[in-house]
Amino acid sequence: MNYTDGHTRICGLIGNPVKHTLSPLIHNSLSDMFGINMVYVPFEVNENDVKAAVKGALALDIKGLNVTVPYKSEVIPYLDDIDPLAKSIGAVNTLVRTANGGFKGYNTDVTGLYHAMQDEGIDLEGEVVVILGAGGVARPTAFLCADKGAKKVYILNRTFEKAECVADEVNTALGTDVVIPMKLEDYKRVLMAHDKFIALQCTSVGLFPDVNSAVIEDKEFYEHISCALDEVYRPLETKFMKLAKEAGARTFSGLKMLLYQGIDAYELWHADDGIKVTKEQADVVYRSLMLDVVGASNIILEGFMGSGKSAVSALLADELSMELVDTDEIIEETEGSTINEIFEKEGEKAFRDMETDLLEAITGDHWREFVISLGGGMPVREENRRLLRKAGKIVFLKASPETIYERVKGDDKRPLLRCEDPLSKIKELMASRMEAYEDAADIVVDTDNKTVQEVVNEIVDKLGIR
């Protein structure tokens, strides 16, 4: 977390609504990486207050602003200057301080989309592009495709007049005629004219909670797609992307566009410092965004002793470049005693209280990007399950009693297995805990007869963060 003091600079986001934004995660992560004393804050601006917001930002010496809907065009009259690209598009999303003490407007939505495409190895030169939708996102997208040499850019929209308006604006701005408006219902004309094309989904269809919808459901449409991008990123894999992937197309989420528009804005704000974000740094931030979108700011492994939590958590943390913590180890270090000693001297209830205290600290301190391996009994308490749900995605590693017994039968450090018939004790304990494990779990992975790598792969696939 950035340390703030009297020298801390502020950047932020104005729009309405903005409470859902992921932009603070992007910019505050970058400031941490570069050691820059800056914080990024969203500001929800009411209708008719855009002018006051810009003036207030200048008066408060705010270093820079992002602008989101519905103010990307409305903010332009209050700027000192505007970049030619943003002027051609008629919208800005980034404001940078000028030497005259005002703001200059840029559009990093366009550059961010282009960088995301470059990152995926997509070249627009000579390609046919189909854009679904004619709203605020479609205009800069069409501008980019035409500007970067696309052979044809079709804009398909339910209301033809809106598609026509966007096409006219882009064609006029660039002096071209490659952007072609079309009614959405006429999409088969594109299929008849072109064997393959790039498809860019620029509507809100498929956005959570409407996750089972796509603008076009016809499988024949998707068979013509070579590469698909959905600018919706909640969920990470929309129905549009699933249909495209099933038809063999390459797919990527609009989350990369969000990432790179933020990176481009960050570099503009710190141009005087020569800040350039590397691909490796961008990948680190992208992983954080993916984890946040799927609700897995932390990945928490639960399960009975011997279910594989230690081995799986270690490999999972390594593959995702996340910190690894084991709750039993933290308690032992904090108490200066082993789990066995705590059970013998203070009893099981005292140990369970320690587990609850630790979970309260994890949620209260807003831990992020940890793989957390839980003690086997931690999810039994209802209060613990409530805290775990706040902390991240919970993965239940499931194994049969016989598998558990084979894995732990030689371990004399398990206080609950010090009995004449360990297998019967395992069955009894597992039966008593199964309901709690299943209640807590977001994902269940059976570890019987699987390698550690296979289990890790299944977790990553089920989380949707590969």
The binding site for NADP(+) consists of 133-137, 157-162, 254
φ/ψ of residue 130, rounded to 5: -115, 120
Q: Considering the candidates 72, 104, 152, 256, report the single residue annotated as catalytic.
A: 72
* Structure token digits, residue 342: 């705590």
Laid out side by side, the sheet with 323-326 consists of 323-326, 370-373, 299-302, 393-398, 443-446
Task: Please indicate whether residue 72 is annotated as part of the active site.
Answer: yes
CB atoms within 10 A of CB 309: 26
Closest CA to 154 of 128, 186, 126, 172: 128
Which value, in Å, is the radius of gyration of the alpha carbons in the chain? 26
What gap in Å lies between CA 337 and CA 415, rounded to an integer?
14
DSSP string, 82-129: E-HHHHHHT---EEEE-TTSSEEEE-HHHHHHHHHHHHTT---TT-EE
Two tokens, residue 64: 């820079």
Q: Which residues are annotated as a binding site for ATP?
A: 306-311, 414
What DSSP line would sit under 160-204, residue for residue? HHHHHHHHHHHHHHHT---EEEEEGGGTHHHHHH-S-EEEEE-SS
Q: How far apart are CA 85 and CA 147, in angstroms?
A: 10
74 DSSP 8-state letter: T
Residues 361 and 302: their CA atoms lie apart, in Å, by 18
Q: Which residues are annotated as a binding site?
A: 21-23, 68, 93, 109, 133-137, 157-162, 233, 254, 261, 306-311, 328, 352, 376, 414, 433
User: Which residues make up each annotated binding site for shikimate?
Assistant: 21-23, 68, 93, 109, 233, 261
State the catalytic residues: 72
